[in-house]
Amino acid sequence: MQAPAQLSRLSTEERAALVRIAADLADIARAETLAQFRPEGGIGAENKLAAGFDPVTAADRAAEAAMRAYLAKHRPQDGIYGEEQGVSRGTSGFTWVLDPIDGTRGYMSGTPTWGVLIALSIEEADGPGAPVLGVIDQPFIGERFTGGFGTAETSGPLGVRPLAVRASRPLDRAVLFSTFPEVGTPEEEAAFKRLVREVRLTRYGMDCYAYALIAAGQIDLVVEAGLQPYDVGAPIAVIEAAGGIVTDWQGGPAHRGGRVLAAANPEIHAAALAVLNR
């Protein structure tokens, strides 16, 4: 497949500069989110939904605003697709896809499994296209996962290490992560439960950190539904850089969100896909 024109025009130095910009954005969001994490008495949050619960905190808004301010100064030609402040179109053919806190429920509860998601995507007429660079950052642990433009590494308490997914294994030896049953229609939950019966271990509620664990070679599968582009752009880039695969539940592109299946390798991806669609 021919690379998009935006990519073919980038020099090695320009690609390296974009990786540094993504790291700068993660540093900025890390500072903003940590400044308000685990206050005495807990974090207050607003509910964005009239029915149900979709929280947003002051830290969500502050982190996205700070990242947007940085991009306005250093990459004003790029578009931005953010969870809290919406879409601004650019002229470069690239869009930064930002989720300032993925896992706000965890953030407001004091858990250390929320994260900052940053992706650089090809811009399409109707929204962000395929991601080419991604960062999953967990500020409290100090752990960062970066993938794209020849980079596939994690840095944190254990130092800097390359990212690489696990080798293929039978489905009955797989480890599966998800936010189910909290998210999903009854039909989606039924499909997910079929897969649960086939795997060795299922764990819940890790938000973006579960995708990072695939890239780090620790688990095999993540299955989700009801996602948005800002939920999946960075995880797709990081997992693909580590050698994994991310699609929708029919095996098609997943960068627009919806139903997502992330897998460590094509073999276990095919096995999980078959069960979800049985």
One domain, residues 154 and 176: no
Count of residues making up the chain: 278
One domain, residues 152 and 176: no
One domain, residues 131 and 199: no
One domain, residues 19 and 95: yes
What average pLDDT score do residues 132-148 get? 98
Average pLDDT across the chain, whole number? 94
Structure confidence by residue, pLDDT tens digits, 127-138 = 899 999 999 999
CATH code where residue 25 lies = 3.30.540.10
One domain, residues 51 and 77: yes
One domain, residues 83 and 17: yes
For residue 147, the enclosing domain spans: 5-162
Is residue 1 over pLDDT 60?
Answer: no
Q: What percent of the chain has pLDDT over 70?
A: 99
What average pLDDT score do residues 221-234 get? 97
* Residue listed under structure tokens 């800097």: 160
One domain, residues 49 and 146: yes
One domain, residues 39 and 125: yes
Q: Is 246 helix (H, G, I), strand (E, B) or coil?
A: strand
Q: Which residues contact 105 (CB under 8 A, 6 or more apart)?
A: 53, 55
One domain, residues 158 and 242: no
SS3 track for 98-162: EEEEECHHHHHHCCCCCEEEEEEEEEECCEEEEEEEEEEEECCCCEEEEEECCEEEEEECCEEEE
Structure confidence by residue, pLDDT tens digits, 174-217 = 999 998 777 789 999 999 999 999 999 999 989 999 999 999 99
Q: What's the confidence (pLDDT) of residue 125?
A: 85
Please identify, among 162, 192, 220, the residue that sits at the C-terminal boundary of a domain: 162
Torsion of the alpha carbons at 52, 106, 179 and 85, rounded to the nearest 10: 60
Please identify, among 162, 182, 209, the residue that sits at the C-terminal boundary of a domain: 162
Helix (H) and strand (E) counts in the chain:
8, 15
Please identify, among 96, 131, 162, the residue that sits at the C-terminal boundary of a domain: 162
One domain, residues 14 and 151: yes
CATH code where residue 184 lies = 3.40.190.80
Question: How far is Cα 219 from Cα 96, in angstroms, rounded to an integer?
Answer: 28
For residues 119 and 238, the answer to whether their CB atoms sit within 8 Å is: no
Into how many domains does the chain fold? Answer: 2
Q: What's the confidence (pLDDT) of residue 199?
A: 98
Q: Is 32 helix (H, G, I), strand (E, B) or coil?
A: helix
Structure confidence by residue, pLDDT tens digits, 81-126 = 999 988 999 999 999 999 999 999 999 999 999 999 999 999 998 8
One domain, residues 38 and 117: yes
Q: Which residues contact 276 (CB under 8 A, 6 or more apart)?
A: 191, 192, 194, 195, 223, 249, 261
Query: Which of residues 55 and 64 earns the better pLDDT score?
Result: 64
One domain, residues 12 and 126: yes
For residues 60 and 101, the answer to whether their CB atoms sit within 8 Å is: yes
Query: Which residues does residue 226 pair with via DSSP β-bridges, in sequence order?
Result: none
- Side by side, the strands of the sheet bearing 221-227 are 201-204, 175-178, 221-227, 258-263, 245-247
Q: What's the confidence (pLDDT) of residue 271?
A: 98
